[in-house]
Amino acid sequence: MTTASDEGKSPPGSPKEGALASQLRRGDLGFLPVIFALVAISVLFQGTNDAFLTPRNLSNLSLQLGVLGVMTLGLVPVLLIGEIDLSTGSVLGLCASVMAVLSVRFGQPTAAAIGAAVAVGAVIGLVQGLWIVVVQVPSFIVTLTGLLVWQGAQRLVLGDQSGELEIDDPFIQGVASTYMPWWLAAGTVIVIAGASALACVLLRRKRGSLRGNLDRCASAAAYPIVAAAVVLILQRYFGVPYLLLLLAALTVALTLLIERTPFGVHVYAVGGNAEAARRAGVNVAAVRVAVFTICSALAALAGVVSASRQFAVDSSTGGGNLVLDAIAAAVIGGTSVFAGRGRIVGGLLGAVVIASVANGLDLLGQSADVKTIVTGLILLAAVSVDTLARRRVSATVPGV
């Protein structure tokens, strides 16, 4: 409640100060570092290879983003509560194999094969989450065990298959290789613009005016502008991939869940201080189990996308640096390594950074070793920025 003695003052975080100013005062740089990184990457690679920003390459980049993007979206909530999940790559491989075996060897319908794969992923996340909260084994150990166990289970599912298990289901093949008609892409932009305008209207009704919240409306207005730009560019090639629409839908759904519901409030509370959250009545154990379940279910969905990209699965599906790249993408996108801070959209932007670097280095003919080195350096820079920002706010705000 504002009293007469408070008039004329604008404490940090007040409506007069604005959400962005309050956020920066707390040392939370938000999307600024990752946006700066994307601009720098675009300038650098376009300067060294003028094919980087062409509609054809950007279309390929949007498809390359699919698997990493879906995995990253699932890992962000895990990092928000101060945990880690190293098993997502193995979960991806196992669930992709389950789907392929059901579809190819047992002739199951597409919906049943995909549904079974996602269900297996969700059950794995549920089991790992319960083990963490009931037995109280650190998530690092439980999911490291999962990385090994589910990798072995993947090989058992594939059996004696020495090469690739090719998938001939047209729907599964089309998940990552078909494009939206122009009218659907245009309609999607219109829906995003309408949702953005509605968000500003609701904010005005809630606050009484938009004064002090113009930054939020500007942020909301940026989404349809970006969407329109993406559609206009990609329509100059084959169009907008359905995979990009899937990523956008998942991002919106998770954003609403994590940032606009009581469950999301509990996620941030557990990440900020689990003991304080418990004393405030939050079911910390349930939150942790739910977050790990969501993460593994999305890893399973990433497995569907991976199989669609390759038209096949094998024992190496989900392997390599994929899980490390997804964790790096979440951190690069602004999810704090100290938990309790970060946003879903930031995770997707971080995945765009990782995919853009890999794509640009491929155009320059660089090896996988160089891509790994560059990704590691970007991750170190992101963590360093987060650490310095946290140190700054700790020095100015006692007890933080």
pLDDT in tens, 291-307: 999 999 999 999 999 99
Kindly tell me the sign of the dihedral angle through the C-alpha atoms of 343, 348, 353, 358: positive
Could you give the CA distance from residue 383 to residue 391 in angstroms, rounded to a whole number?
A: 12
CA dihedral 297, 298, 299, 302 (to 10 degrees): 130
Could you give the CA distance from residue 205 to residue 11 in angstroms, rounded to a whole number?
A: 23
The conformation of residue 234, written as its DSSP 8-state character, comes to: H
Over the stretch 345-358, which tens digit does the pLDDT of each residue have?
999 999 999 999 99
249, two tokens: 């839908």
Q: Beta partners for 324?
A: none
Residue 265 maps to a domain: yes
**Which three-class secondary structure string do you get for 283-336?**
CHHHHHHHHHHHHHHHHHHHHHHHHHHHCEECCCCCCCCHHHHHHHHHHHCCCC
Strands 312-313 and 165-166: antiparallel
Q: Are 129 and 118 in contact (CB under 8 A)?
A: no
Query: Who wins on pLDDT, 255 or 390?
Result: 255
Query: Who wins on pLDDT, 364 or 30?
Result: 364
Could you give the CA distance from residue 4 to residue 6 in angstroms, rounded to a whole number?
A: 5
Residue 217 maps to a domain: no
- Tell me the percentage of the chain whose pLDDT exceeds 90: 63
Residue 39 maps to a domain: yes
User: Which of 33-42, 143-152, 366-375, 379-388 has the lowest average pLDDT?
Assistant: 379-388
Long-range CB contacts for residues 271-280, cutoff 8 Å, separation at least 24: 271/80, 271/81, 271/82, 271/339, 271/340, 271/341, 272/339, 272/340, 273/340, 274/81, 274/82
Domain that holds residue 131: 29-178+241-390
Residue 2 maps to a domain: no
Residue 127 maps to a domain: yes
Residue 69 maps to a domain: yes
**What's residue 394's pLDDT?**
59
Q: Are 355 and 37 in contact (CB under 8 A)?
A: no
Residue 145 maps to a domain: yes
- Overall number of domains in the chain: 1
Q: Are 322 and 334 in contact (CB under 8 A)?
A: no
Over the stretch 192-214, which tens digit does the pLDDT of each residue have?
888 888 877 776 666 655 555 56
Give the pLDDT mean for 19-46.
Answer: 74
Could you give the CA distance from residue 327 to residue 320 in angstroms, rounded to a whole number?
A: 13
Over the stretch 37-52, which tens digit does the pLDDT of each residue have?
899 999 999 999 889 9
Could you give the CA distance from residue 187 to residue 309 in angstroms, rounded to a whole number?
A: 26
- List of residues 6+ apart from 240 with CB closer than 8 A: 62, 179, 180, 185, 188, 230, 231, 234
Could you give the CA distance from residue 355 to residue 376 in angstroms, rounded to a whole number?
A: 13
Burial of 237 (0-12, 13-18, 19+ CB in 10 A): middle
Residue 63 maps to a domain: yes
Could you give the CA distance from residue 353 to residue 334 in angstroms, rounded to a whole number?
A: 12
- List of residues 6+ apart from 94 with CB closer than 8 A: 120, 124, 150, 151, 153, 154, 157, 303, 318
Query: Residue 323: which CATH number?
Result: 1.10.3470
